A and B are shown apart, each in its own frame.
Chain A
Amino acid sequence: EPEVTQTPSHQVTQMGQEVILRCVPISNHLYFYWYRQILGQKVEFLVSFYNNEISEKSEIFDDQFSVERPDGSNFTLKIRSTKLEDSAMYFCASSTLSGTYTDTQYFGPGTRLTVL
């Protein structure tokens, strides 16, 4: 069964450094998302992406964050200058059209980001 994959599974970085989290969505999917989950808390929406542009972003997704689909398969989340509070699990999700409706979102296994 097709699935969303994410790399790396765990990223450790120093505060102020840039990180890029990578996702490979399910191959025929058109809509892409990033969510994050701070340890022990609920999953929170960051950004949605469709047709090579951001569809919606949350308050969390400030100027330090950016997303890109550099080729036909990858979807990346960049954090320019990481802060301690960016430590969290980051989940990529993707969905597609099913008839006249978009299908539900399928989540990847996540990247655990630790900022020291």
Chain B
Amino acid sequence: GQQLNQSPQSMFIQEGEDVSMNCTSSSIFNTWLWYKQDPGEGPVLLIALYKAGELTSNGRLTAQFGITRKDSFLNISASIPSDVGIYFCAGQLSGRDDKIIFGKGTRLHILP
């Protein structure tokens, strides 16, 4: 089945640093999504990308949908303690009612 390769698996950064994580796929996706999951909670949508090449921001978060529709990155600027958590990239192959295929996640740790 379709798989998303997400990297890095985990990151340890200092508070205030910028963060970058990315996702690649062997399949073309029509939609790329970035979710954050806090311990014991469900995934929360951060950014949705619908067009190849699209660059979208949500506060300190910026994400881009790759031109080839096979990759995406998420940047977090000036990290703060509440950014700690697991970030999942995810994609949908066809319509937005299609199942979401998740990557394995990037666990972000912030050092004081």
What DSSP secondary structure best describes chain A's contact surface?
strand
Are A104 and B33 interface neighbours, CB within 8 A?
yes
| A100 CB to nearest B CB, Å | 10
Is A82 close to B, CB under 8 A?
Answer: no
Are B97 and A48 interface neighbours, CB within 8 A?
yes
Is B66 close to A, CB under 8 A?
Answer: no
Q: 8 Å CB contacts to B: which residues of A89-116? A: 91, 93, 95, 101-110, 112
Interface size class of A (residues with CB under 8 A): 20 to 34
Q: Which residue of A lies closest to B90 (CB)?
A: A43
Are A42 and B97 interface neighbours, CB within 8 A?
no
Are B99 and A33 interface neighbours, CB within 8 A?
yes
Are A56 and B99 interface neighbours, CB within 8 A?
yes
Are A43 and B95 interface neighbours, CB within 8 A?
no
Alpha-carbon gap, A41 to B107, bound state (A): 12
Q: Which 10 A-B pairs have the closest CB atoms?
A: A107-B42, A45-B99, A102-B96, A102-B97, A43-B102, A42-B102, A42-B104, A31-B97, A107-B43, A109-B42
A45-B100, A105-B45 known; 15 new pairs, CB 8 Å cut-off, are: A42-B88, A43-B90, A43-B102, A48-B99, A50-B97, A56-B99, A91-B42, A91-B43, A95-B96, A102-B96, A102-B97, A104-B33, A106-B45, A109-B41, A110-B41
Which residues of B approach A to under 8 Å, CB–CB?
31, 33, 35, 40-45, 48, 88, 90, 95-105
